Amino acid sequence: MTIEIVTAHAPEPAAQVPVQPAPVFAPQPDAGAVPPASQLVVEAVDVPTTAPPVLLAERPELASNEPSPRELSNVVPAPREIGDVSHLAELDARSISAWFGDHNVLDRVSLLMAAGQVTALIGPSGCGKSTFLRILNRMHELIPSASMAGEVILDGQDVYAPERRLTEARRHIGMVFQKPNPFPAMSIYDNVIAGLQLTGTKLSSSDKDTLVESCLVKGGLWNEVKDRLRQPGGGLSGGQQQRLCIARSLAVQPRVLLMDEPCSALDPTSTRRIEETIHELKSEVTIVIVTHNMQQAARVSDQCAFFLAAAGQPGVIVEYGATAAMFDSPQDSRTFDYVYGRFG
Ligand SMILES: Nc1ncnc2c1ncn2[C@@H]1O[C@H](COP(=O)(O)OP(=O)(O)OP(=O)(O)O)[C@@H](O)[C@H]1O
Ligand SMILES: [Mg+2]
């Protein structure tokens, strides 16, 4: 079987994304040694599809008592289809590096974002949190000069696999931005279902009504807008617009919801409302949230990852773990200093 060493994949036709050598099978070159993206090539190698023979030589009992294919399928669960909404999805970022031109901004960052949990990404400005988030749903590749290496695995499936379409990643991994971005002239109702065009989903009007209501309920906005669904989305307050954007993201049934500082432009009441929404949503969607607000990270997240970029260096994860432990007894002195407000 031939596979590519490089795990940054060819973009959709509209995007021109150069690839960088992936660190998956070989040590990643130092940031300073990374050649310009234009000089990089994709290599292909032959790899065996079976387990290395040495394993059987070391454990002859396995060779003499090989399990049948049926038994094997019990041992190694087949990867689930990433659109299978019957369970919560886990998102696994493996050895992610990112560049803008030859500026290396993330260096081999690995993070498992557990199914049905809220993972908070914290860290000072410029350490690569938003870049990491954009790599998770393939938005990074839309930026001219941007390149990346590593793997993003959703439910055992590679989001960057060549056969996967860009729109598929977007559909399964939704994103809410810092600044609410509803379509201002479009009605609240149409805003919620705007994403269905992306997925090519066609629904009857009664199914659309049901979907709009359920997404607005989940987004914590239904009671405030149910009597004005045909009014423009731009007429809502900032906090309401952000909840409308959450409702819009939910309409395509994402497996993961990425939120990049979703409350930074909001007042405390709207912030609290969004935090309640996050609590309610995590029973059906895996959530990753970037926040500069340590109290918010402590309130909403189960797991927390602290990103840091030393001067002139790419961002890395310094510490990762259960949020309560990270805030009560951080293991790294830099985490301690950050969560207790000594810098950043
Ligand atoms: N479009 C871009 N072109 C070039 N460089 C970029 C681009 N976007 C981000 N960068 C650089 O990548 C690095 C990481 O930026 P990123 O926005 O991911 O940081 P961040 O941790 O999200 O910061 P903040 O907390 O301020 O939002 C920074 O050095 C930034 O200047
Ligand atoms: Mg950011």
Q: What is the mean pLDDT of residues 14-42?
A: 37
Domain presence at residue 82: no
Domain presence at residue 137: yes
Based on C-alpha coordinates, what's the Rg of the chain? 22
Query: Bigger pLDDT: 2 or 203?
Result: 203
Q: How far apart are CA 337 and CA 175, in angstroms?
A: 30
Q: What is the mean pLDDT of residues 95-116?
A: 97
Best of 109, 127, 288, 291 for a ligand 1 pocket test (most atoms within 8 Å of beta carbon):
127
Output the domain CATH number for residue 107: 3.40.50.300
Q: Is 125 in the pocket of ligand 1 (CB under 6 A)?
A: yes
Domain presence at residue 105: yes
Report the domain count for the chain. Answer: 1
* Residue 120 Cα distances to 286, 321, 323, angstroms: 11, 10, 8
Q: In residues, how long is the chain?
A: 344
Q: Is 291 in the pocket of ligand 1 (CB under 6 A)?
A: no
Residue 289 token pair: 């949230």
Domain presence at residue 301: yes
Domain presence at residue 55: no
Strand partners, 272: none
Identify the domain containing residue 192 by its residue range.
91-339
Domain presence at residue 333: yes
pLDDT of 83? 63
Q: Which residue has the CA at smallest separation from atom 12 of ligand 1?
A: 105
pLDDT in tens, 81-94: 666 767 899 999 99
Domain presence at residue 26: no
Query: Bigger pLDDT: 130 or 340?
Result: 130
Domain presence at residue 53: no
Residue 214 token pair: 């359920």
What are the residues whose beta carbons fall under 8 Å from the beta carbon of 180, sequence distance 6 or more? 238, 241, 242, 244, 245, 265
pLDDT in tens, 242-272: 999 999 999 999 999 999 999 998 889 989 9
Helix (H) or strand (E) holding 317: strand 316-322
Q: How far is the CA of 130 from the centre of ligand 2 (A)?
A: 4
